[in-house]
């Protein structure tokens, strides 16, 4: 069992930034921590699988974070996923970490 910590340091442009995870054959999303440079920045988070399914979307669930998005999960992942930070109220730096446990 390996736990991948994907470090994030991305700057939003026009309120949006995205990146892909590595490809996983069998993984579990364990933790997402995203922090905007300003404590009062609102934004949304979406994770889309390789088939275009939005497995997490704070714009739909009504959980739009302010400053920090910090959630724990036990969500199965397979293949490559795209993580989007969007609807940001400011074009600024987002930092954080996504932890994915790969199962053999």
Mean pLDDT per 10-residue interval, the chain, length 104 residues: 92 96 92 97 96 95 95 94 97 97 83
**What is the domain count for the chain?**
1
Provide the 10 A C-beta neighbour count for residue 55.
14
Structural domain of 17: 2-102
pLDDT of res. 1: 77
pLDDT at 2: 87
- Which sign, positive or negative, has the C-alpha torsion 91, 36, 64, 79? positive
CATH of the domain at 22: 2.60.120.380
């Amino acid at each position: 069992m390996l736990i991948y910590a994907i470090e994030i340091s991305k700057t939003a442009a026009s309120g949006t930034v995205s990146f892909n995870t590595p490809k996983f054959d069998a993984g579990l999303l364990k933790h997402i921590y995203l922090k905007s440079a300003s404590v009062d920045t609102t934004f949304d988070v979406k994770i889309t699988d390789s088939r275009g399914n939005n497995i997490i979307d704070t714009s739909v669930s009504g959980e739009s974070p302010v400053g920090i998005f910090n959630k724990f999960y036990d969500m199965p992942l397979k293949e490559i996923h795209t993580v989007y930070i969007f609807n940001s109220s400011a074009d600024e730096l987002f930092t954080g970490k996504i932890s994915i446990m790969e199962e053999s």
